[in-house]
A and B are shown apart, each in its own frame.
Chain A
């Protein structure tokens, strides 16, 4: 098989979000003409990404620290509270506020029939596995305040009904059922402080 290496690389770059054919071409030409060193560094970094980064077996956060991420290995956090988020970025944003000292669970998505994403496509089964084996007494549902995020929170709240666990929903400027005059967005840390029960 003889692929044109330039065209082949362009096609790979163009698969990345936010990068079109033209940007991909520009990047590849830059690497060839301006910065050949970077090709080696980039290849190495990408290989490391593939080999060392994995999902944490407990919370499903991405981690390069082995089977469990640094948060899950922490001994100073509150093991009674678990915060459920949809995406890796949401966990990072919450961590950046330093408001929350419990543990996390990353679903890797939200319920979205239009995109063919149902409960079995999210890390929900492992969440219930976790509950069996831990001392968690409160679950905070911090899925986004979108239609799908709200439905996902309601789904989990219903499934959690029979567990003797307090379930709260992160407060937000949710347009769903919100106020007509204002659709402002609260900051994440305030939202966490204002979480409500179901």
Chain B
């Protein structure tokens, strides 16, 4: 399954663009602030209804001064389909094959996505929330309706927290919500454990390869409560009522990265953290490929800027092997390995996209120009 055409109107700084990507590698080139990453967000909205960088409000996705935005995506493959997403201040309306749908999971069944944003690198040493976000992304890409279960968990959590804030708590009612919370949590935890099991060998292999066998890496799931959540919450009843919030559950779980047998959180260098995150993304890609026999869209924001050339090359090699449709943003083509295969190059400037020549030609061209502005022959895309 791959993206054949994307149209975006009034999406972030993209006024009106059409993108006809290659089935393999696509390079989105442009200076910072011109809309490369917005284009990745537009692709992600077309594929998963969500941008790769989380936003609080829909209005953050709409071009400043406009009231609505529209994304249309056409996917090619064994059973082609189209996705249209209309965003306005009230919400989003999704059409699948031109029919309105309220079921975003129908789309997640058809297509998966693996993304990298530079902020992901902070997860190794940062807060547990950042690691949970990665864990949830992995789990959701392996289990298309995981997000549905997670949303349900968040809902019961909100209800339970509100109940704990009441001056007089009905204990039977609290126990009812505890039970629902525990049931819902169990599904989340089970999915996370299974997802980690799916990526384990790929991940360990990846860390070793990316570090020339200098590093060994392990991932460990650290649930906030070992064992029966309902029983553990029963024991915390007094404390929970004093603190007026739920003190255990999947929303507080952690994912531990370890490096040569020690927690990476305290000891990893920035370079090592890159290896771990990169290995995680590659493992996610491979696991989705193996588990769902589906090649996910790979969206990499500024990955070459954040990685050293060796790592970038290894990443691109894996991408090449898996033949998965990939979008990479970068400021310069020269940041990519020189012996790079042909892909399509799109230049993103001032919210407009111009295309497209083969990567090797663009690279040769860039090598001969002293500054960054170079000329592309347009081939029908805008």
Residues of A bordering B, CB below 8 Å: 111-114, 118-119, 147-148, 150-152, 154-155, 158-159, 175-178, 180-181, 183
Assembled-state Cα–Cα distance A119/B176 (Å): 12
Residues of B within 8 A of A154 (CB): 175-176, 179-180
A176 neighbours in B (Cβ, 8 Å): 152, 156, 180, 183-184, 187
CB atoms of B143 and A158 under 8 A apart: no
A152–B180 alpha-carbon span in the complex (Å): 10
Distance A113 CA – B168 CA, assembled complex (angstroms): 12
Q: How many Å lie between the Cα of A148 and that of B163 in the bound state?
A: 12
| Contact between chains at B162 and A114 (CB < 8 Å) | yes
Residues from chain B with a CB closer than 8 A to the CB of A114 are: 158-159, 162
Residues of B within 8 A of A180 (CB): 143, 145-146, 149, 187, 190-191, 194
Asked if A151 and B180 make an inter-chain contact with CB atoms under 8 angstroms apart, the answer reads: yes
Contact of B173 with A177 in the complex, beta carbons under 8 Å: no
Task: Name the distance in Å between A140's Cβ and chain B's nearest Cβ.
Answer: 18
Kindly state the separation between the CA atoms of A171 and B155 in the bound complex, as whole angstroms.
21
The 4 closest A-B pairs by CB, nearest first: A177-B183, A154-B176, A113-B162, A113-B163
Indicate whether B55 reaches chain A with its CB closer than 8 angstroms. Answer: no
Q: Is B172 an interface residue (CB 8 A)?
A: yes
A53 to chain B, nearest CB (A): 31
13 contacts across the A-B interface (CB closer than 8 A): A112-B159, A113-B177, A151-B177, A151-B179, A154-B179, A154-B180, A155-B173, A158-B175, A177-B183, A180-B146, A180-B149, A181-B143, A183-B105
A180 nearest CB neighbor, chain B only? B143
Q: Quote the shortest CB–CB distance from B32 to chain A (angstroms).
A: 40
Task: Kindly state the separation between the CA atoms of A158 and B191 in the bound complex, as whole angstroms.
Answer: 29
Interface membership of B306, Cβ < 8 A: no
B145:A177 contact, CB within 8 angstroms: no
Please report the C-alpha to C-alpha distance between residue A154 and residue B230 in the assembled complex, in whole angstroms: 14
CA distance A112 to B166 in the complex (A): 12
Q: A147 with B152: in contact, given A111-B176, A177-B183 (CB under 8 Å)?
A: yes
Complex alpha-carbon distance, A152 and B173, angstroms: 8
A158, B143: Cα distance in complex, Å: 34
Q: Is B148 an interface residue (CB 8 A)?
A: yes
Point out the residue from B105, B149, B173, B175 that lies within 8 Å of A119, measured CB to CB. B173
Determine whether B310 belongs to the interface, using a CB cutoff of 8 Å to chain A. Answer: no
Q: For the complex, would chain A's binding face be called helix, strand, loop or mixed by DSSP majority? A: helix
| B186:A177 contact, CB within 8 angstroms | yes
Min CB–CB distance A4 → chain B (angstroms): 29
Candidate in A154, A155, A180 with the most chain B CB atoms within 10 angstroms: A180
List residues of B whose CB falls within 8 A of some A CB: 105, 143, 145-146, 148-149, 152, 155-156, 158-160, 162-163, 166, 170, 172-173, 175-177, 179-180, 183-184, 186-187, 190-191, 194
Contact B156 A147 (CB under 8 A): yes
Residues on the B chain within 8 Å of A112, using CB:
159
User: CA–CA, A150 to B179, complex, Å?
Assistant: 9
Which residues of A sit under 8 angstroms from B158, Cβ to Cβ? 114
Residue of A118, A148, A181 touching B170 (CB-CB under 8 A): A118
20 further contact pairs, Cβ within 8 A, besides A113-B162, A151-B176: A111-B176, A113-B159, A113-B163, A113-B173, A114-B159, A114-B162, A118-B170, A119-B172, A147-B152, A147-B159, A147-B184, A150-B180, A152-B176, A154-B175, A158-B175, A176-B184, A180-B143, A180-B145, A180-B191, A181-B143
Q: In the docked arrangement, what's the CA distance between A148 and B155, Å?
A: 9
- B334–chain A nearest beta-carbon distance, Å: 45
**How far apart are the CA atoms of A147 and B149 in the complex, in Å?**
11
Give every chain A residue within 8 A of B146 (Cβ-Cβ).
180
Chain B residue, CB-CB nearest to A177: B183
**Min distance, Cβ A198 to any Cβ of chain B, angstroms:** 10
CB distance from B230 to the nearest CB of A (A): 11
Does the CB pair B159–A158 fall under 8 Å? no
The docked-state distance in angstroms from the alpha carbon of A101 to that of B155 is 34
Most chain B CB within 10 A, of A147, A148, A152, A178, is at A147
A147 to B155 alpha-carbon distance, docked (Å): 7
| Nearest CB in chain B: distance from A118 CB, A | 6
CB pair A155–B172 under 8 Å, yes or no, is: yes
Name the CB-closest residue of A to B184. A176
Chain A contacts for B163, CB-based, 8 A:
113
